Structure 1
């Protein structure tokens, strides 16, 4: 946790000002309010509404700034009843110059890491939509197949037990050193995070270092906003932002 806190302190000097654009799919957001993002991140962004999730694609990072869901118990039950059948594909709803391709990841040393996971999707068609390359970031293999997959399963368990949860997932980049992969120069995040709102209870976020150290923790929404430039749930109170609820770690 020390490394995370040190980086949050440094990142606070880079994140200032926020922008809240309108959304074409408010059903995925708490009170219909989509995440607010730092003004410095708004260049070449495109919202894409899919059947069971929405993403904000960045033509600068060539991936999502966030991917959001309203997961219900019924959706999880549907997801449990289907098999994984999707294949990675370009996102045709964004400009061609802003897209990444699956070939960008070939021999890169990184997995194609879902932000909205295929395992959350309740139909074959919606599962296929989750394989959009605009929903993908370069993710460490050990993290992607280990702790991150376990966190995704924990969130599905929460949705089942509570009836519903709102989830926003995204990357956070080191402003001083952002490596890229592939000919499309896909930005590699230093962290990936998953914010969870339990209606009537509060919110918190999982934060994982994007390396093989398998270092994940539960942090506040304010921490995520400072680190990534994204406020996942702007409709929530300042108290909800500052005081993380307990989330189950793997």
Structure 2
């Protein structure tokens, strides 16, 4: 029984590492071993059973996935996760009125509006309570910039997730224990042959709506230190210093 379980876990880990939503450099590692991995055609995420939110989500934005018609936002509990480990629509009741948060997508709907799977972004496993100023300001600006990269013809890989560095708020009507993030990271990179260009950003929940997202750029090394994740686990060591230790690899293409 233990051997069979080990083989199952090994096979599952290999599948996640090779998910089409991640680049050839692998999906993030370092999250809790009890997390629920959810893989769908347009993204893969790692749901944390304690916080009730994904520790990371990975997706690939392409010229074919963007610029579709306007799509609706119908929120749903994730059927792939036991109800006690994720939130439900009623948990967000009165959130904006009391703590000024939106239902913030980690994987943005607009980046997949031209696919048959756009509604998968509305599962609450892909949502966090995100400050309205952040969600409607610098965060969406960065998401728009990522789509601009895709419009040039290149695929843009993205890994995004929460940080828990201070108390921000609590959902007033939630009946499950949860921890709202204090901020978020987003790492954007392109892979052309063996050439990797990347930029990373960290934004706080307290960010101004008018903050220029370019001012929040950091190194991937900083994101990894603060999140506890290895975001590009299969990146060769000879590339890591340049890609993960420096700022600005993809800045100009993101409009910075």
What range describes the TM-score normalised by the shorter chain of this pair? Answer: 0.7 to 0.9
Counterpart residue number, 1:211: 206
Counterpart residue number, 1:160: 151
Cα distance between partner residues in 1 of 2:103 and 2:189: 26
Q: Which has the larger radius of gyration?
A: 2
Counterpart residue number, 1:192: 184
Give the TM-score normalised by the residue count of structure 1.
0.82
| Aligned partner (choices 213, 238, 242) of residue 245 of structure 2 | 242
Give the TM-score normalised by the residue count of structure 2.
0.80
Is the Cα–Cα contact under 8 Å of residues 159 and 186 in structure 2 kept in the other structure?
A: yes
Structure 2 SS opposite 1:134: helix
Q: CA-atom RMSD, angstroms?
A: 2.2
The alpha carbon displacement at 1:238 in A equals: 2.0
| Aligned partner (choices 144, 151, 168) of residue 135 of structure 2 | 144
Distance 1:32 1:235, change over 3 A: closer
Cα distance between partner residues in 2 of 1:137 and 1:241: 26
Counterpart residue number, 2:9: none
Counterpart residue number, 2:232: 233
Is the Cα–Cα contact under 8 Å of residues 43 and 59 in structure 1 kept in the other structure?
A: no
Distance 1:142 1:209, change over 3 A: same
Cα distance between partner residues in 1 of 2:76 and 2:255: 31
Counterpart residue number, 1:6: none
Counterpart residue number, 2:220: 221
Cα distance between partner residues in 2 of 1:189 and 1:23: 28
Distance 1:47 1:207, change over 3 A: same
Cα distance between partner residues in 1 of 2:151 and 2:73: 24
The alpha carbon displacement at 1:48 in A equals: 0.8
Distance 1:56 1:242, change over 3 A: same
Cα distance between partner residues in 1 of 2:71 and 2:178: 25
Cα distance between partner residues in 2 of 1:121 and 1:198: 18
Q: How many residues align?
A: 224
Mind listing any 5+ residue stretches in structure 2 that lack a counterpart? 1-11
| Aligned partner (choices 110, 115, 119) of residue 128 of structure 1 | 119
Structure 2 SS opposite 1:27: coil
Deviations 1:176-220 (A, max 9, x none): 546532222332111111111121242121211112435541111
The alpha carbon displacement at 1:34 in A equals: 1.2
Cα distance between partner residues in 2 of 1:34 and 1:246: 20
Structure 2 SS opposite 1:184: coil
Cα distance between partner residues in 2 of 1:56 and 1:172: 14
Mind listing any 5+ residue stretches in structure 1 that lack a counterpart? 1-19
Is the Cα–Cα contact under 8 Å of residues 104 and 186 in structure 1 kept in the other structure?
A: no
